[in-house]
Amino acid sequence: MFYFHLPDNKLKIACDFLFYDVFINCLELKPIVAWKLRNAKENQFYYFLSLIKQAVECLMAGKPVLSADRLKKGTYMSQYPQWYYDEFKQIGVDYTDLEEAQAYDLRMQALRDTENEANNLRELLGIKNTDRILEIGTGTGELALKLSEHCKKIVAIDVSKTMVEFAKMKAESQNKKSIQFYTAGFLTYEHCTEPFDVIITQLALHHLPDYWKLIALRRVYGMLREGGKFYLLDVVFPSQIRDYDSYFNKIITNLRETAGNELAEETETHIREEFSTLDWIMEGLLKSAGFYIESVNYDGFMAGYLCRK
Ligand SMILES: C[S@@+](CC[C@H](N)C(=O)[O-])C[C@H]1O[C@@H](n2cnc3c(N)ncnc32)[C@H](O)[C@@H]1O
């Protein structure tokens, strides 16, 4: 077993992280994995541990363990058919860029009051301290960090390993130990334990084309308990606009004046390259995935959907 080969400091972290007994009893690691853990730099080490943890959870739930190929960088998609969408490929803004991850919170601070957002969401979703929550597309983990004090368990996932590592560092520096971070997305996260009470995703679903949004929403539906709540916030275009040229030009000009060039350019990239859809399509996708839409809030091209399974 690999733990005999790990230096003390790594063994301690691995045991804290993986619940020693479960780990020792459940997993027979291959020598290549042991080698990888022994030689991993700190950030890779946590990443490998998080993959092993997912494997342990799958084993305990009697589900198949993800292929060891996933331990190799860049082969996340190898277990999927050739036609399956590669959600790790960056579209529009590159969230795997370290500078982007580091600058993200600063940029958001100028635009958003994340404390307020988290409080409003807690109220809207009626989050209780017994709830198990999944956040998809967590980015730098701001929301997950804020919600973690008010629920039983929170799993925060993102396809950008850079964002996940950054969020993990923030959690460690704030001594918040109850969040589980994974590098995975709407189309690849495998949940093996109890269903979630609440699933939240903000500003991430537009990274998928419409057909894949439906697949993503069906997967979300499948991970939610009966009666559980799903909150989706995203950029969704209003279908009632007659003159889209003026509409978008006005938005960009306003943004340039109020929030600066960088955000205006990012919004241009969003409209041009990312996959934000129209309001009636988004509502149709949610319903088609099985959700009952309890309330919708359209504010310009931001839309918030509170849904129930
Ligand atoms: C605009 S950021 C939003 C971050 C955070 N939710 C927030 O509200 O500030 C979009 C995030 O979605 C992630 N993302 C993109 N495609 C994704 C997918 N298919 N599954 C999960 N996350 C995805 C990106 O890596 C990025 O961190």
| Domain containing residue 187: CATH number | 3.40.50.150
What's the domain range around 264?
A: 98-308
CA of 52 to the centre of ligand 1 (A): 23
Is residue 93 assigned to a domain? no
Q: What is the pLDDT of residue 3?
A: 45
Q: What is the pLDDT of residue 67?
A: 43
Is residue 40 assigned to a domain? yes
Structure tokens at 209: 């084309």
Same domain assignment for residues 219 and 280: yes
- The residue whose C-alpha atom lies closest to atom 8 belonging to ligand 1 is 202
- The residue whose C-alpha atom lies closest to atom 1 belonging to ligand 1 is 203
The residue among 301, 134, 118 whose CA lies nearest residue 230 is: 134
Same domain assignment for residues 63 and 110: no
Q: What is the per-residue burial (b if ≥16 Cβ within 10 Å, else e) of 120-153?
A: ebbeebebeeebbbbbbbbbbbbbbbbbbeebeb
Q: What is the pLDDT of residue 231?
A: 98
C-alpha distances (whole Å) from 199 to each of 131, 153, 237 are: 10, 12, 23
Closest ligand 1 atom number to CA of residue 135 = 6
| Separation of alpha carbons 200 and 228, rounded Å | 11
Q: What is the pLDDT of residue 46?
A: 63
Same domain assignment for residues 46 and 119: no
Q: What is the pLDDT of residue 72?
A: 39
What are residue 157's phi and psi, to 5 degrees? Answer: -125, 155
Same domain assignment for residues 46 and 104: no
Is residue 184 assigned to a domain? yes
Give, for ligand 1, the residue of 188, 207, 208, 231 to mutate: max count of ligand atoms closer than 8 Å to Cβ. 207
Is residue 255 assigned to a domain? yes
Neighbours of 185 (CB within 10 A): 22
| Separation of alpha carbons 39 and 129, rounded Å | 39
Same domain assignment for residues 163 and 28: no
> Domain total for the chain?
2
Give, for ligand 1, the residue of 138, 190, 275 to mutate: max count of ligand atoms closer than 8 Å to Cβ. 138
Does residue 87's CB lie within 6 angstroms of at least one atom of ligand 1?
A: yes
Helices and strands of the chain, counted as H and E runs: 12, 7
Same domain assignment for residues 267 and 201: yes
CA 217 from chain centre, in angstroms, equals 13
Contacting residues for 284 by C-beta, under 8 A, at least 6 apart? none
Same domain assignment for residues 180 and 120: yes
Give, for ligand 1, the residue of 160, 170, 234 to mutate: max count of ligand atoms closer than 8 Å to Cβ. 160
CA of 132 to the centre of ligand 1 (A): 20
Is residue 3 assigned to a domain? no
Strand-pair partners of 180 = 155
Does residue 202's CB lie within 6 angstroms of at least one atom of ligand 1?
A: yes
Is residue 79 assigned to a domain? no
Quick one: DSSP state of residue 203? S
Same domain assignment for residues 47 and 135: no
Whose tokens are 């959700």? That residue is 291
Same domain assignment for residues 236 and 289: yes
Same domain assignment for residues 152 and 278: yes
The residue among 2, 46, 33, 24 whose CA lies nearest residue 177 is: 46
Same domain assignment for residues 62 and 152: no
Each residue's pLDDT, cut to its tens digit, for the chain (309 residues) gives 444 455 656 655 655 555 444 454 444 444 445 556 666 665 556 666 666 666 666 666 665 554 433 433 344 666 788 899 999 988 888 888 777 777 887 778 777 888 999 999 999 999 999 999 999 999 999 999 999 999 999 999 999 988 998 899 889 888 888 899 999 999 999 888 899 999 999 999 999 999 999 999 999 999 999 999 999 999 999 999 999 999 999 999 998 998 889 889 999 999 999 999 999 999 999 999 999 999 999 999 999 999 999
- Rama region for 227: left / alpha / beta (φ>0; ψ in -120 to 50; rest): left
- The residue whose C-alpha atom lies closest to atom 23 belonging to ligand 1 is 137
Same domain assignment for residues 189 and 270: yes
Does residue 162's CB lie within 6 angstroms of at least one atom of ligand 1?
A: no
Closest ligand 1 atom number to CA of residue 104 = 9
Q: What is the pLDDT of residue 4?
A: 43
Does residue 57's CB lie within 6 angstroms of at least one atom of ligand 1?
A: no
Structure tokens at 20: 């020693």
